[in-house]
Amino acid sequence: MVIKKIAILFSGTGSNLEKLLAFLHQQTFEHCKIEVVATICNRPNAAGIEKSRAYGIEPIIIDHTRYASREAFDEALVEAIVKSGAELTVLAGFMRFLTPYFTEHIKAINLHPSLLPLFKGGNAIKESFESPMKVAGISIHYVSEELDGGEIIAQRCFEKYEGMPFEDFEAKIHALEHELLPETVKNLLNRN
Ligand code: GRF
């Protein structure tokens, strides 16, 4: 059985990290077994740290505030990922801009809470909620030099209903993320 190794990067709550661990870690699929070989977090107090520990994986903390530049931080990230042996890196709520140094060295995918190419950047949920569009959704895309601009791999959408409260909108976004991200990672890896 082929073992496919992944690394997961996160910054905060870690609900997507938890879904990835629950659905994929040490799970056997038709063509492979998936192993999460590293979880990496840039914030020493992130709630997701405990979620990773619950699966027996001690997160690697790479605190961005301790690095003089984005490049120096990315060099540390790349070193940790390469050392882990991961062939695919999943950005699951990882809130840092990455430099070309990262994208040149690491094959990574990112979860973004809008229907790209609309609403790139850090305010996607609010912007798509406030837009006149009748649908909203989420995207998973390859990480490229351009922020939220790499090739789209998968998307899922829903219809906004009249008077939909922001809390319901946000909850719907997260529910779709929790389904689509593990499924997409599995589909990318579980191939002949
Ligand atoms: C998700 O909505 C993700 O799309 C966004 O940050 C959130 C992370 O949530 N970029 P969590 O840490 O996985 O709970």
| Whether pLDDT at 1 is above 90 | no
Banded model confidence at residue 29, pLDDT cuts 50, 70, 90: very high
Banded model confidence at residue 8, pLDDT cuts 50, 70, 90: very high
Q: What is the pLDDT of residue 159?
A: 98
d(CA 170, CA 161) in angstroms, rounded, equals: 13
| Whether pLDDT at 61 is above 90 | yes
CA of residue 40 relative to chain centroid, distance:
11
Residues of the chain with pLDDT > 70: what percent?
100
- Give the Å distance between the CA of 14 and the centre of ligand 1: 7
Catalogue the active-site residues.
112
Which atom, in ligand 1's list, is nearest to the CA of 174?
2
| Whether pLDDT at 45 is above 90 | yes
Q: Which of 9, 15, 125, 170 to mutate to test the pocket of ligand 1 (most atoms within 8 A of CB)?
A: 15
Write out pLDDT tens, residues 85-135. Answer: 999 999 999 999 999 999 999 999 999 999 999 999 999 999 999 999 999
What pTM value is reported for the model? Answer: 0.97
Quote the tokens at residue 51.
Answer: 């979620």
Which atom, in ligand 1's list, is nearest to the CA of 112?
4
Nearest residue (by CA) to ligand 1, atom 9, is 93
Write out pLDDT tens, residues 134-163. Answer: 999 999 999 999 999 999 999 999 999 999
Average predicted confidence (pLDDT) for the chain: 97
- Give the Å distance between the CA of 160 and the centre of ligand 1: 20
| Whether pLDDT at 192 is above 80 | no
Q: What is the 3-state secondary structure (H, E, C) of the chain?
A: CCEEEEEEEECCCCHHHHHHHHHHCCEECCCCEEEEEEEEECCCCCCHHHHHHCCCCCCEECCHHHCCCHHHHHHHHHHHHHHHCCCEEEECCCCCCCCHHHHHHCCEEEEECCCCCCCCCCCHHHHHHHCCCCEEEEEEEECCCCCCCCCEEEEEEEECCCCCCHHHHHHHHHHHHHHHHHHHHHHHHCCC
Which atom, in ligand 1's list, is nearest to the CA of 10?
12
- Give the Å distance between the CA of 75 and the centre of ligand 1: 24
Q: Which protein residues touch ligand 1 with a CB less than 6 Å away?
A: 10, 12-17, 48, 92-93, 111-113, 174, 177
Instruction: Name which of 30, 9, 18 is nearest 186 in CA terms.
Output: 30
Instruction: Name which of 29, 48, 32 is nearest 40 in CA terms.
Output: 48
Which atom, in ligand 1's list, is nearest to the CA of 113?
4
- Give the Å distance between the CA of 113 and the centre of ligand 1: 8
